[in-house]
């Protein structure tokens, strides 16, 4: 009789490894279901642990776990626009949007719940986390433009475009991810150049930027 395969050695996870495991399980669930439809039992089952263990790491229960998962997702979203400041601006924005739309595609329902709000677990803290993503994205865009002291019109233009990116992403999910992500990316980049051009007609600072961008090709 052939000897049975050895049983894999059990390895106790460190505190950080276990916490990361639970967050990964939660993020996977929140990616496909609205937060209010996910229970701690669901998270425990997905992670292959007991409910008391989830409570041990997140004594605040579902609210604390959701906020921690949201922060983790927010950090990933913020990194989408962290693109090396080399080459033409449209190409840089295109690469950043590729990462952003990949995140939207992967998290789907969770992304919708995150941005649309209305969740029973939504609080001022969760709202601040989401707003932090928007502000970080705006800072990255201004950095790509080489602007450290933006005037109100330029600052508003950038923030309005970020809002448009969010809205387009939500509509894209609602439209069964049509048009293809690549077409959506190109359209959003073109839209950014267009709104900059419109603002340039009213704002000398933006006009200088548009001129410099046209010279860079």
Report the alpha-carbon distance of residue 26 to residue 43 in Å, rounded.
Answer: 6
Q: What is the pLDDT of residue 118?
A: 44
Q: What is the pLDDT of residue 183?
A: 97
| Alpha-helical regions (H) of 33-151 | 40-47, 51-57, 62-80, 89-116, 124-144
Q: Three-class SS of residue 3?
A: coil
Q: Which of 114, 99, 102 is nearest to 33 (CA)?
A: 114
Question: Which run of H or E residues covers position 208?
Answer: helix 204-216
User: Whole-prediction pTM value?
Assistant: 0.77
Q: What is the pLDDT of residue 9?
A: 40
Q: Mind listing the pLDDT tens digit of every residue in the chain (217 residues)?
A: 445 544 444 357 788 888 888 988 888 887 777 777 888 999 999 989 999 999 999 988 888 888 888 888 788 888 888 888 888 899 999 999 999 999 888 877 667 666 655 444 556 777 788 888 889 899 999 999 999 999 999 999 999 999 999 999 989 988 999 999 999 999 999 999 999 999 999 999 999 999 988 876 5
Q: What is the pLDDT of residue 97?
A: 95
Q: What is the pLDDT of residue 122?
A: 57
Place of tokens 């649309």: 116
Q: Which of 68, 73, 74 is nearest to 132 (CA)?
A: 74
Report the alpha-carbon distance of residue 114 to residue 111 in Å, rounded.
Answer: 5
Report the alpha-carbon distance of residue 101 to residue 160 in Å, rounded.
Answer: 18
Q: What is the pLDDT of residue 110?
A: 66
Q: What is the pLDDT of residue 5?
A: 47
């Amino acid at each position: 009789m052939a000897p049975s395969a050895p049983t894999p050695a059990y390895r106790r996870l460190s505190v950080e490894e276990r916490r990361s495991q639970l967050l990964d399980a939660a993020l996977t669930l929140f990616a496909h279901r609205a937060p209010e439809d996910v229970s701690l039992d669901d998270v425990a089952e997905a992670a292959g642990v007991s409910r008391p263990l989830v409570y041990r790491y997140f004594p605040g229960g579902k609210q604390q776990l959701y906020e921690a998962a949201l922060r983790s997702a927010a950090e990933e979203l913020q990194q989408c626009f962290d693109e090396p400041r080399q080459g033409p601006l449209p190409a840089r924005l295109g690469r950043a949007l590729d990462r952003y739309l990949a995140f939207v595609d992967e998290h789907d329902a969770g992304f919708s719940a995150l941005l649309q709000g209305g969740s029973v677990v939504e609080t001022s803290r969760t709202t601040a986390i989401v707003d932090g993503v928007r502000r970080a994205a705006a800072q990255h865009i201004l950095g790509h433009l080489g602007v450290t002291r933006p005037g109100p019109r330029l600052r508003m233009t950038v923030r309005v475009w970020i809002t448009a990116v969010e809205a387009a992403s939500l509509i894209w999910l609602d439209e069964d991810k049509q048009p293809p992500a690549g077409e959506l990316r190109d359209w959003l980049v073109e839209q950014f150049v267009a709104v900059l051009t419109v603002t340039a007609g009213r704002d000398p600072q933006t006009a200088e930027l548009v001129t410099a961008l046209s010279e860079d090709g």
